[in-house]
A and B are shown apart, each in its own frame.
Chain A
Amino acid sequence: MTKRTRVIAATAAGAMMALAASAAMAGEVVIGFAIAQSGWMDAYDGPPLIGARMAIDDFNATGGILGNRIRAVVSDTKTDAVQGAKAATEVLAKGAKFMVVSCDYDMGAPAATIANDRKMVAISFCASDAKMGVQGIGPYAFTMNTPGQVEGAVAAAYSWRRGWRKAYALLDASIEYNKSVCHGFLEYWKKLGGEVVGVDTFMQEDPSIASQITRYKQAAAAKGEPDVMALCSYVPGAVSAIRQVRGAGIEAAIVSGDAMDGTYWAEGVPDLSNHYAVTFGSIYGDDPRPEVNQFFARYRKAHGEPDTSFPLNGYSVVQAFKIAAERAGSLDNTKVLAELNKFDKQPLLWGATTFVPDMHIDMFHPMTVIQIQNGKGSFAARIALDDPPALQLIFPEFTADLYE
């Protein structure tokens, strides 16, 4: 039977691949990267992986971790949930001691679940979701980012600092991250005493936001022209929205989260000005931290122009493993976990990082605001909130108390 032969052949092939997998050698510590190297998520996992490799090279030059040479094994999740689980199993089979997962909570969850199940520390490159942590995946999961909520709050703080007082929120309701950014913005904006002219939603795939623009204009006519629009979305829907918004003559400043870092996406909005994104650092050589500028100069030389500042997070993940293991004096996951839980404004390349046992995402992290003027990006501000929002896991719809 053809089918049966095929199945047996596939079984045999699989068995051979598994047996050929190599285990870790002595004097070596393997970090397993279960991340996307193909599919759309590759755009977000690729740069941090480069950053991580740069860190591995740097640390191996000075003895690795506790004298053990660091080796990276990578398995492609192909931007697919089930494949993500298999990628985790594969890096485990290849001797991974610690795991690194995708820069996105949904994409990284299957792999992080497997790591957590085995009591292995798993750090996400840059998932902006508290669920990639104790309250979601489990006690062994971390993420090298702040929640979208904090990004929204920082955007609000920056807008206030600029003297803007009337805001409009346009939410792309397709994913949780967007909702958390808008929620964070509106909550902090209200706390500061700002006025909300109106709110509206669209979906990532909408071919037209003409109705949303109409509603904006009506609200502006009734309550005054907004100074700033919080656009809580991601590429490409956000680009479509910005194009239509600017095309309709709306000149309000636009603020967004880290999903809009970089200028690579700005082709569709020629000569874009007054756009601000909350992210980790400036890739334009003008960050106030010299180590960031040096890092990107190295990056530029070896890998070409960086698209976003996410490689900083990749570097920081490996840094975190090294620092925690060295403090613990051991590669044992339970001990490393205990040290990670004590990170108090620990200097890492992406910034001072704080983790505590019931918070594996950094609510206090200073964030960098990047601006785009005339299509060019530059550093705008660096903000750390003294009063960040309370940790929240899900963000239901716009509730009237946020904007009325």
Chain B
Amino acid sequence: MSGFLQHVVDAVALGSLYALTALGIGLIFGVMRLINFAHGDFIMVGAFSLVVPSSAATSTLLIGAWPAPLLVAGVCAVVIALALATERLAFRPVRRADPAVLLITSFAVSFFLQHAVIAIHGGRPKSANIWPNLMEPIVIAGVRMPQLQLITIVVTLGLLAALALFLKRTDIGVAMRAASEDFQTARLLGIRANYVIATAFAISGLLAAVVSLLYVAQTSVLSFQMGVPLVLFAFVATVVGGMGSLAGAVLGGFVVGVGSVFFQVVLPAAWRSNRDVWVYALVLLILLFRPAGLIKTKASEEKA
């Protein structure tokens, strides 16, 4: 039984990472109808901000050497600034263009960010050791958990709760939800687009920074491609959960994370490297039976 519980914890922890990433993407999609593939690169830049920019093979900690509260604040500041900058410079000018153009713009931004990091840090992956003591396990009810897994789950729940409050109680939060549910009407009602969108990007940046810290604490990996698998699964999760629905993005993230762990555990050894085939198949099935995603919103009912 404790083995099963252990797997549940593993699944929820992985799902949390995907959920946070999916939420970052879902927020932007909600207010702008933009699928931001550069989100993964926000995460990546946040990770690289931990070390001194240099093309040496070994890395020296920069922000990574600061005490924890400053470290967190530092990385958040970097990523939020990056998110706001890309919104202002790359996405605002194309705001009215059709979804394909928006998508390719986000891809171009992603490509640019990745190669900028390569130019500064070199193409070789690096390692950054932050908070190593978080890897130590604690045992709760027979379940062994690295402290980091517990922190991941707690932080995710906390952020979700805070975000939910923000969206319900503050003016700007309500405006964001309105835009997410029904973009056209929201514009007509005079929601200040610039302010709402910038806030969405700032929150999205914050989420990316958190994912970045959790990811580096877990793996110590800094690689210019590190954001790609995260954003790929998060993107899929957003659609599975229901595009336009923030709760859906979170749900989708957990579905993908849990599904991934489930197949990892259940498949026989010889099939395990094909795990992702099963995860994608699951996604396909969900889409075929619920094309609008698991949680329907008005947005998804706009087009048949």
User: A and B touching (C-beta < 8 Å)?
Assistant: yes
Q: Taking beta carbons and an 8 Å cutoff, which residues of A are in contact with B?
A: 38-43, 79, 171, 173, 199-201, 203, 205-208, 210-212, 214-215, 217-218, 235-237, 239-240, 243-244, 246-249, 264-270, 307, 397-400, 403
Q: Which residue of A40, A42, A203, A239 is within 8 Å of B273 (Cβ)?
A: A203
Residues of A contacting B65 in the complex (Cβ-Cβ under 8 angstroms):
none
Shortest beta-carbon distance from B66 to chain A in Å: 17
Compute how far the CA of A265 lies from the CA of B65 in the bound complex, rounded to whole angstroms.
Answer: 18
Point out which of B57, B129, B230 has the most chain A C-beta atoms below 10 A from its C-beta.
Answer: B57
Compute how far the CA of A52 lies from the CA of B261 in the bound complex, rounded to whole angstroms.
Answer: 46
Shortest beta-carbon distance from A278 to chain B in Å: 20
Shortest beta-carbon distance from B220 to chain A in Å: 3
A239 and chain B: residue at smallest CB distance: B127
B17 at the interface (CB under 8 A from A): yes
Compute how far the CA of A145 lies from the CA of B115 in the bound complex, rounded to whole angstroms.
Answer: 31
Q: A205-B229, A236-B221, A268-B221 are in contact. Are A243 and B7 (CB under 8 A)?
A: no
B219 at the interface (CB under 8 A from A): yes
What are the interface flags for B38-61 relative to A under an 8 Å C-beta threshold, 1 for contact and 0 otherwise? 000000000000000000011100
The answer to whether A399 and B220 have CB atoms under 8 Å apart is no
The answer to whether A214 and B10 have CB atoms under 8 Å apart is yes
Shortest beta-carbon distance from A43 to chain B in Å: 4
Q: Which residue of B137, B223, B264, B271 is within 8 Å of A397 (Cβ)?
A: B271
The answer to whether B123 and A43 have CB atoms under 8 Å apart is yes
Compute how far the CA of A205 lies from the CA of B7 in the bound complex, rounded to whole angstroms.
Answer: 20
Q: A43-B57, A211-B7, A214-B3 are in contact. Are A399 and B122 (CB under 8 A)?
A: no
Q: Which residue of B122, B127, B146 is within 8 Å of A265 (Cβ)?
A: B127
Q: Which residue of A236, A244, A246 is within 8 Å of B125 (Cβ)?
A: A236
The answer to whether A211 and B57 have CB atoms under 8 Å apart is no
Interface residues on B, range: 35 or more
Majority SS of interface residues in chain B? helix
Residues of A contacting B137 in the complex (Cβ-Cβ under 8 angstroms):
247-249
The answer to whether B218 and A266 have CB atoms under 8 Å apart is no
What are the interface flags for B210-253 relative to A under an 8 Å C-beta threshold, 1 for contact and 0 otherwise? 00000100111111011011100000000000000000000000
A264 and chain B: residue at smallest CB distance: B57
A-B contact pairs, 11 of them (CB 8 A): A40-B124, A199-B269, A210-B10, A211-B265, A215-B265, A236-B125, A244-B219, A247-B135, A266-B127, A268-B219, A307-B57
Residues of A contacting B221 in the complex (Cβ-Cβ under 8 angstroms):
236-237, 239-240, 268
B216 and chain A: residue at smallest CB distance: A268
Q: Taking beta carbons and an 8 Å cutoff, which residues of B are in contact with A?
A: 3, 6-7, 9-10, 13-14, 17, 57-59, 118, 122-129, 132, 135-137, 144, 146, 149, 215, 218-223, 225-226, 228-230, 261, 264-265, 269-273, 275-276
Shortest beta-carbon distance from A211 to chain B in Å: 5
Residues of A contacting B149 in the complex (Cβ-Cβ under 8 angstroms):
210
The answer to whether B271 and A208 have CB atoms under 8 Å apart is no
Point out which of B59, B225, B270 has the most chain A C-beta atoms below 10 A from its C-beta.
Answer: B270
Compute how far the CA of A243 lies from the CA of B144 in the bound complex, rounded to whole angstroms.
Answer: 17
Residues of B contacting A171 in the complex (Cβ-Cβ under 8 angstroms):
273
The answer to whether A40 and B125 have CB atoms under 8 Å apart is yes
Point out which of A171, A210, A236, A403 has the most chain B C-beta atoms below 10 A from its C-beta.
Answer: A210
B148 and chain A: residue at smallest CB distance: A247
Residues of A contacting B122 in the complex (Cβ-Cβ under 8 angstroms):
42-43
The answer to whether A267 and B128 have CB atoms under 8 Å apart is yes
The answer to whether A207 and B219 have CB atoms under 8 Å apart is yes
Residues of A contacting B123 in the complex (Cβ-Cβ under 8 angstroms):
38-43, 79
The 9 tightest CB contacts between A and B, nearest first, are: A247-B135, A268-B220, A268-B127, A173-B273, A240-B219, A236-B125, A267-B127, A40-B123, A43-B124
Q: Which residue of A38, A203, A210 is within 8 Å of B146 (Cβ)?
A: A210
The answer to whether A210 and B127 have CB atoms under 8 Å apart is no
Residues of B contacting A43 in the complex (Cβ-Cβ under 8 angstroms):
57, 122-124
Residues of B contacting A201 in the complex (Cβ-Cβ under 8 angstroms):
269, 272-273
Residues of A contacting B273 in the complex (Cβ-Cβ under 8 angstroms):
171, 173, 201, 203, 397
Q: A200-B269, A236-B125 are in contact. Are A208 and B10 (CB under 8 A)?
A: yes
Shortest beta-carbon distance from B23 to chain A in Å: 16
Shortest beta-carbon distance from A231 to chain B in Å: 14
Residues of A contacting B124 in the complex (Cβ-Cβ under 8 angstroms):
40, 42-43, 235
The answer to whether A214 and B13 have CB atoms under 8 Å apart is no
